[in-house]
A and B are shown apart, each in its own frame.
Chain A
């Protein structure tokens, strides 16, 4: 076993790495972490089985003739390098300095046996730096577990990105381990940068991306619409971070949405800020040996949102745009939003949605003509690929589900494109049709003057009906054009083209004289609005879809 590992000669380690590896193993680092701290960037070195790597590494550190000499004078060969106290490793290293160039020599049997024995006592072998992430969760077994969790969710995806969340204290332990290495190389006069160390995450992905890819049969990429997240916790060492709060209190400000102030980002920042002297004083270097390995969190899957846009008509005067709930009780049976999103949710198998539209209409107002632009963000869709034909079928499904609404131009759009819908909402014009009642009996000629009114400037105080939730203000609005069709002595039909944001109902009845001028003043009679329809919303998005 050892001879094979050594025979491959895969490890791109140099003689100068030997004391570092030895010290790291002695401090309780796992084989992969030892490679990391030696800045080994050869991915295949991490991908070989942990056992092979471990024995190869032990062979490497034991191959040193000076360590043999050292073995004669002490009990080190029996205990193995991992159990040597830090003070001895310093001696080893000095010895190594005087006897360079022996890294290809064979391993003494005594060393090999001792190593095998210590590997067997698993509990004490949990890595002080990665807490077991690179030891116990970087193999085919764990890749299978991840793949099973993903498969069970029945997502449709053709690639994925693997993300890893590690316990925050790993940064503290990483720093402590780095300080150990730093001291070694400094004593040797060599220079090494912390940034050159291979991060736990990086090593994890080097090993796991390929394995997960094999299990799921799709490429694991650096970027993908589909994200699979694995995470680890290690409650035993959670308190490792706490000393930082005393030295860098400004890094740990409580946030409403955080369970703990010791977030990964905050800990990284605090570790960057703290002086080496303080760190060494407040935290053991190397880190203490954990008794337990870390635990894997449940694998989480997330597909980026899909945005679906279109235009809707609303043909009902008893249908609100969004669910209408007062004091926890529903006021109306359904809503435009629900009628549109129900078929979308089930087809995209998404976990939720955000509905937005270019303005909104009151419950008793119909939206006719080409309809009102809307967009639905489908959250975490399990299926995201739809052909144009399938989208058309979806539109039909929505339209068949209710005669209260109708949808057209349904299409999948980008997140950026949804912005067009809200752009310049105020500058747009809207057209309305209204049924007007007049108190004073009218004749055809009495409404003739209306069509001659152009670009009428009105001042609207915030309508009483929305004043409870909007600031009180007087807003200037423009009614571009109006036309009227006589119906009977007390009724006529009024068409208006207005600046978006004009309150039509208040323009007609005057809202206690708070909209001025209003139709009552123009007609010299009390007037009221009995029915209102939105005839067009002049926003040229989303683009029309031809049948």
Chain B
């Protein structure tokens, strides 16, 4: 009776979201991001399962949403239906920096253009969520693309199949250990 983890029905993400990927961000090998786009255009930014933090099961030292002296993602506030006041992000806007106990620092990027709606503050107090539930409770941020850009923002991203291809080739070639 222990069929367990394998479920027959699609998950919440399968049902309502499309998975998009961006690999090797800023040229850093294997620093892959996953963008979950809801059918209503809202995007949730998460670590891809191939990201070194997850693949190598790093221990998290700290997570920092203060991306520069003058800018903290924690200061972000939106109001009203139109989400006035949210920081506007471009593809390479940093969302946060994650430091692992081995001293490595990883920057997580927006990956898409849009208005920042919220960042996940839970991972500050429970960094392990990042490792245990990277694609749900361990999300990084929620971004709302402009209505007219809701289709074009994913043009530069990889589909699930393309991403799997990249990861497979990476394993085959084994260029350098990530």
Is B68 located at the chain interface by the 8 A CB criterion?
Answer: no
Extra pairs beyond A440-B4, A472-B117, A489-B2 (17, CB < 8 Å): A437-B7, A464-B38, A464-B44, A465-B38, A468-B42, A469-B40, A469-B81, A471-B80, A471-B81, A471-B83, A472-B118, A512-B136, A512-B137, A512-B139, A513-B133, A513-B136, A528-B9
Question: Which B residues are closer than 8 A to A by beta carbons?
Answer: 1-5, 7, 9, 11-12, 16, 38, 40-42, 44, 78-81, 83, 117-118, 120, 122, 129, 133, 136-137, 139, 142, 144
Is A108 located at the chain interface by the 8 A CB criterion?
Answer: no
- Give the CA-CA distance A151 to B45 in the complex, in Å: 65
Are A441 and B137 in touch, CB under 8 angstroms? no
- Give the CA-CA distance A490 to B1 in the complex, in Å: 9
Cβ of B122: which chain A residues have Cβ within 8 Å of it? Answer: 513
Cβ of B41: which chain A residues have Cβ within 8 Å of it? Answer: 468
Residue of B whose beta carbon sits closest to that of A520:
B137
Size class of the A contact interface (CB-based, 8 Å): 20 to 34
Are A441 and B139 in touch, CB under 8 angstroms? no
Give min CB distance, A70 to chain B, whole Å.
77
User: Which 7 A-B residue pairs are closest in the complex by CB-CB distance?
Assistant: A513-B137, A468-B40, A509-B12, A489-B1, A512-B136, A512-B139, A471-B80
Give min CB distance, B121 to chain A, whole Å.
10
Is A397 located at the chain interface by the 8 A CB criterion?
Answer: no
- Give the CA-CA distance A509 to B13 in the complex, in Å: 11
Are A465 and B137 in touch, CB under 8 angstroms? no
Cβ of B4: which chain A residues have Cβ within 8 Å of it? Answer: 439-441
Give min CB distance, A437 to chain B, whole Å.
6
Give min CB distance, B149 to chain A, whole Å.
13
Cβ of A440: which chain B residues have Cβ within 8 Å of it? Answer: 4
Q: Is the interface of A mostly helix, strand, loop or mixed?
A: loop
Cβ of B117: which chain A residues have Cβ within 8 Å of it? Answer: 467, 472
Q: Is the interface of B mostly helix, strand, loop or mixed?
A: loop
Is A5 located at the chain interface by the 8 A CB criterion?
Answer: no
Are B81 and A465 in touch, CB under 8 angstroms? no
Is A286 located at the chain interface by the 8 A CB criterion?
Answer: no
- Give the CA-CA distance A467 to B16 in the complex, in Å: 14
A:423-446 near B, CB below 8 Å: 437, 439-441
- Give the CA-CA distance A464 to B16 in the complex, in Å: 10
Cβ of B7: which chain A residues have Cβ within 8 Å of it? Answer: 437, 439, 490, 528
Give min CB distance, A56 to chain B, whole Å.
68
What are 18 A-B contacts defined by CB distance under 8 Å?
Answer: A437-B9, A439-B4, A439-B5, A441-B2, A441-B4, A468-B41, A468-B42, A468-B144, A471-B81, A472-B83, A490-B3, A490-B7, A512-B137, A513-B122, A513-B129, A513-B133, A513-B136, A530-B9
Give min CB distance, A376 to chain B, whole Å.
27
Is A310 located at the chain interface by the 8 A CB criterion?
Answer: no
Cβ of A510: which chain B residues have Cβ within 8 Å of it? Answer: 136-137
Give min CB distance, B146 to chain A, whole Å.
12
- Give the CA-CA distance A464 to B136 in the complex, in Å: 12
Cβ of B38: which chain A residues have Cβ within 8 Å of it? Answer: 464-465, 468
Is A470 located at the chain interface by the 8 A CB criterion?
Answer: yes
Cβ of B83: which chain A residues have Cβ within 8 Å of it? Answer: 471-472
- Give the CA-CA distance A465 to B13 in the complex, in Å: 11
Give min CB distance, A487 to chain B, whole Å.
13
> With A513-B122, A513-B137 in contact, is A470–B11 under 8 Å at CB?
no
Give min CB distance, B115 to chain A, whole Å.
11
Cβ of B5: which chain A residues have Cβ within 8 Å of it? Answer: 439
Give min CB distance, B92 to chain A, whole Å.
24
Cβ of A437: which chain B residues have Cβ within 8 Å of it? Answer: 7, 9
Most interface-central of B1, B9, B16, B136 (chain A CB within 10 A):
B136
Are B144 and A512 in touch, CB under 8 angstroms? no
B interface footprint on A459-491 (CB within 8 Å = 1, 0 otherwise): 001001111111110000000000000000110
Are B9 and A464 in touch, CB under 8 angstroms? no
- Give the CA-CA distance A489 to B118 in the complex, in Å: 36
- Give the CA-CA distance A528 to B40 in the complex, in Å: 20
Residue of A whose beta carbon sits closest to that of B147:
A468
Give min CB distance, B150 to chain A, whole Å.
9
Cβ of A472: which chain B residues have Cβ within 8 Å of it? Answer: 78, 83, 117-118
Are A465 and B3 in touch, CB under 8 angstroms? no
Say which residue of A461, A489, A512, A530 sits within 8 Å of B44 (CB atoms): A512
Are B81 and A470 in touch, CB under 8 angstroms? yes
Cβ of B142: which chain A residues have Cβ within 8 Å of it? Answer: 464, 467
Cβ of B118: which chain A residues have Cβ within 8 Å of it? Answer: 461, 472
Cβ of B129: which chain A residues have Cβ within 8 Å of it? Answer: 513
Cβ of A464: which chain B residues have Cβ within 8 Å of it? Answer: 38, 40, 42, 44, 142
Are B3 and A528 in touch, CB under 8 angstroms? no
- Give the CA-CA distance A467 to B86 in the complex, in Å: 14
Cβ of B1: which chain A residues have Cβ within 8 Å of it? Answer: 441, 489
- Give the CA-CA distance A31 to B81 in the complex, in Å: 62
